[in-house]
Amino acid sequence: MAAAGNVTLIGLRAMFYGLMPEETYVQSLKDVPDVLLWARPYFLLLIFLDLVVMAVVGDKNFRFNIALINVTVGYTSEAFFRFVSRGLELTAYLWIYHHHHLLSLPFDSITTYVMCVIGVDFCTYWWHRMVHEISFMWAAHYLHHSCEDLNTAVAARISITMLPFKWMYYIPLAFLGVPPPLYIFHSHLNLMSTVWTHSSLWPKMHKILPVLGHFIEFVFVTPSHHRVHHAANQYCIDKNFGAFLIVWDRLFGTFAEEREDEELVYGVIDQKDTNHFISLEIDPWQALWERFAAAKTSGDKLRTLIYGPGWSPGQPRLGNPDEIPDVRGRKKHQFESSTVVSLYVTLHCLLLMVGIDDMSTRMSTVSRDLGLLHFAYLFLSSGSLGWIFTAHRGFLWLEPVRLLVSLSLCHLLPLFAWRPVVTALTITNTASLLLWPLVRTQVLQLADRKEKKAE
């Protein structure tokens, strides 16, 4: 790979699918660059710039607490992919490629490059469309759409439960003979190219580039296109599924232009006031189970799973479009927290993220058991911090336990290799244990206010 040594430039350009063809020519899986890790600083920088610009222009599509939830959810999901699954989703692709591929495509061919760009994006379109049109897959994708803000932090809001469904849509590329290293590389580039389109700030491209902008909007996905996809307005439902290329939506009848005479309302139709890191993952599945259990016949139970999330007995597969509610003017759920609680949770979430980065850089040298242990620690931490953030008085006992577990893992097991991380965790967790009575009092006060508000 021509630019493998230039991590900084690859990470930056990967955010916009900006690598030259020869920079993507990778012959073996072990040589596939970790562009997701290399691009992360620029992802976080984009989130920060969003915050600054939105604060200056008065755009209300960025709330710090919600953005923190989005990034934390994204880090936890990536930790699951890296520490637990560890490429398990590649098993079928590798087997089909090695035993049943139809073409022998060279890894260093411009033809193969073009096939990868188009093929990965085509498969992504159909995966993305199906997760909106099949209820049991929508339960895994619901989390991504349940944010009532739209900014680059939302791009990180990806569910752990998506893993069992996405890989199968790329199997046709294995039959065609797309080498596994190139498939992995281009799937990462395709994913990273969607980050900047999660924005409520960018105007339509033809307003920035009067001539070229129209061509860009006809071929490529832009923030304007993706705003439509994330909105719950009636004309936006199940539209603009493209990731890198918008031409698939134009070809298959799922394209919608953003209207300038109607303010977009982000989130889902059945928007709920849920902000717990783990509840965000579980609640859609619980709702699907309740629909499944309520179905009267075995046929309706099956249709509840494989028809659209808006389906009910007697309706078309995707539900009745005339029954989509008008959400224009809908108020956002307000996320309430105190300064002390916000600072506490933010600090510990940042430490979790640094720990994930630390483990990510050495996953090839540590055991699967250590990866599973790290993820179990993350799950415990997400649960405890989530209950603090959402002022749940019933589980406040868990946080001191988590802090003690964290201190133990830092010093009894090599869970964190980078010494500054161990030092920071030790100091912060010890101080947090000493200050816990203050934080607990703040959380209980928030809980009291929430309960009075609900009465």
Q: How many residues does the chain have?
A: 455
Residue pair 156/144 in contact (Cβ under 8 Å)? The answer is no
248 and 349 housed in the same domain:
no
- The number of folded domains in the chain is 2
Please indicate, yes or no, if residue 74 is contained in any of the structural domains.
yes
256, two tokens: 């919608």
Tell me the average pLDDT of the chain.
92
Q: Is residue 48 part of a domain?
A: yes
Residues 33 and 169 in one domain: yes
Q: Which of 118, 440, 419, 405 is nearest to 247 (CA)?
A: 118
Dihedral pair phi/psi, residue 420, rounded to 5°: -60, -35
Confidence at residue 3, expressed as pLDDT on a 0 to 100 scale: 44
> Which amino acid is located at 99 in the chain?
H
Mean pLDDT across 414-429: 84
- In-domain check, residue 287: no
Residues 43-54: what's their mean pLDDT? 93
Share of the chain above pLDDT 90, in %: 78
Question: Can you tell me whether residue 243 is helix, strand or coil?
Answer: coil
User: Is the residue at 67 inside a domain?
Assistant: yes
For residue 360, being part of any structural domain is answered with yes
Average pLDDT over residues 238-257: 98
Query: Above 80 in pLDDT, residue 429?
Result: yes
Residues 81, 228 within the same domain: yes
The boundaries of the domain holding residue 131 are 7-252
pLDDT digits (tens, 9 = 90+) for 85-122: 877 889 999 999 999 999 999 999 999 999 999 999 99
Give tens-digit pLDDT for 183-237. Answer: 999 999 999 999 999 999 999 999 999 889 999 999 999 999 999 999 999 999 9
**Claim to verify: residue 240 and residue 345 sit in the same structural domain:** no
**Domain ends where: 215, 236, 252?**
252
- Of the pLDDT bands very low, low, confident and very high (cuts 50, 70, 90), residue 6 is low
Are residues 59 and 164 both part of a single domain? yes
For residues 42 and 151, state if they share a domain: yes
Query: What distance in Å separates the CA atoms of residue 281 and residue 279, rounded to the nearest whole number?
Result: 5
Q: Do 240 and 357 belong to one domain?
A: no
CA–centroid distance for 108 within its chain: 31
- pTM of the entire structure? 0.93
Are 65 and 194 within one domain? yes
Average pLDDT of span 19-25: 93
Give the pLDDT band of residue 453 (cuts 50, 70, 90). confident
5 confidence band (pLDDT: 50, 70, 90): very low
Which of 252, 280, 301 is the last residue before a domain boundary? 252
For residues 28 and 183, is the Cβ–Cβ distance under 8 A?
A: no
Per-residue pLDDT at 325 exceeds 60: yes
Q: What is the mean pLDDT of residues 401-413?
A: 88
Same domain, 226 and 95: yes
pLDDT higher than 70, residue 272? yes
The identity of residue 9, as a single letter, is L
Q: What is the percentage of the chain residues whose pLDDT exceeds 70? A: 98
Question: Same domain for 162 and 56?
Answer: yes
Q: Are 83 and 374 in contact (CB under 8 A)?
A: yes
Based on the fold, state whether residues 347 and 247 are members of the same structural domain: no
DSSP string, 376-438: HHHHHHHHHHHHHHTT-GGGTTHHHHHHHHHHHHHHHS-S--SHHHHHHHHHHHHHHHHHHHH
> How far apart are alpha carbons 257 and 263 in whole angstroms?
13
Residue 385 lies in a domain: yes
Question: Does 269 fall in a domain?
Answer: no
Side-chain half-sphere exposure of 127, counting CA atoms within 13 A: 22
**Residue 307: inside a domain, yes or no?**
no
- Last-in-domain residue among 252, 276, 305: 252
The answer on 237 and 344 residing in a single domain is no
d(CA 434, CA 22): 55
